[in-house]
Amino acid sequence: MKPVSSMTGFAVAARTTAIGSLTLELKSVNSRFLDLSVRHPDELRSVEPALREVIAARVNRGKMECRLALARSGGEAGSGLNPDALERLKALAAEIESAVPGVAKLGVADVLAWPGVVEVPAADPEALRQTVLDALEEALQALAASRQREGAALREVLRGHCDAIDAIAAQARARAPELLAAVERKLVERLEQALGKTLADASTLSREEISDRIRQEVTLYGMKMDVDEEIKRLTTHVGEVRRVLENGGPVGRRLDFLMQELNREANTLGSKAAAIEMTNASVELKLLIEQMREQIQNLE
């Protein structure tokens, strides 16, 4: 049985690189398609195409954000001062002091913050790329595990809803003949009371023939109000939902279609309801189906 995955998840991975500490975060929520955004510092811009390719190969659906953060450490091994940059800064400071006498002198923090004064060893691009991809692989595995845990919980919730729908359908199937017969008897009595004497006085038909005609009309009405086919289709669709959940994998789109079919049968059942019990059953079914639909929106 393949796992069922939610589209909601979060994962983080950290690595140490030659230019600082790298943190990679993955966040995803539900979406009809894969909607991927990548945020990164300029130093890692070249890695973005590879990140997108790997994520697209592993994730089918979801609005996903991949965020890269790089925290440079002030004491990288091999870092030092650039004499040429210091000389340029010194010359500029002298020019400014000459042009604006009394200007505040540069402090140590000002000097160190000047671009190029502190030399940081350049990172090997290929090694940096591989480090980022290693972090991505760890984060993707953690994200997949997170999404599968939530997917497993949602699968059990949906199975519980399927049980509830089956129970309502079984109760409706058991009560349907009794309820329909009661409605037909009441309808026959009312028609005979309302029309029997009038038709007998204005027609050559006997009272027995009139009663037969009334019962024929009531029988046709009963056939139109029969909900056995709707209940059978309802349980068939529920069985298909169970089968899809059992097989696992990407199930969201298939289940969303089945929710439409279930809702159609529940609506038809309500429109044919010949008693308040059937109306209540239809309402309960539609509530359950809507709850299932909301849960399915989160499944991949």
Provide the CB-side half-sphere exposure for 144 (13 A, CA).
15
Burial class (CB in 10 A: 0-12, 13-18, 19+), 226: middle
283-286 long-range contacts, CB within 8 A, separation 24+: 284/168, 285/165, 285/168, 285/169, 285/234
Residue 98 pLDDT exceeds 70: yes
Residue 9 pLDDT exceeds 60: yes
Query: pLDDT digit string (tens) for 261-289?
Result: 999 988 888 776 666 777 888 899 999 99
State residue 65's pLDDT score.
95
State residue 217's pLDDT score.
55
Residue type, 24: L
Residue 18 pLDDT exceeds 60: yes
Distances (CA, A) of 286 to 241, 293, 296: 16, 10, 15
pTM: predicted TM-score of the whole model, two decimal places: 0.69
State residue 274's pLDDT score.
62
Residue 63 pLDDT exceeds 90: yes
- pLDDT band for position 190 (cuts 50, 70, 90): low
Interatomic CA distance for residues 215 and 184, integer angstroms: 9
Query: pLDDT digit string (tens) for 220-265?
Result: 555 455 677 788 889 999 999 999 999 999 899 999 999 999 999 8
Query: Mean pLDDT over residues 139-168, rounded?
Result: 94
Query: Mean pLDDT over residues 61-88, rounded?
Result: 77
**Residues in CB range of 141: below 8 A, 6 or more apart:** 11
In the block, tokens 């109306």 appear at 279
Of 44-48, 83-87, 165-169, least confident by mean pLDDT is 83-87
Burial class (CB in 10 A: 0-12, 13-18, 19+), 103: exposed
State residue 69's pLDDT score.
93
Residue ranges per structural domain of the chain: 9-75+125-148, 80-119, 152-296
Q: Please, are residues 288 and 160 in contact by the beta-carbon 8 Å criterion?
A: no
Question: Fold for domain 9-75+125-148?
Answer: Ribosomal Protein S5; domain 2 (3.30.230)
**Residue (of 234, 233, 232, 196) closest to 214 by Cα position:** 196
In sequence order, the β-bridge partners of residue 6 are: 299
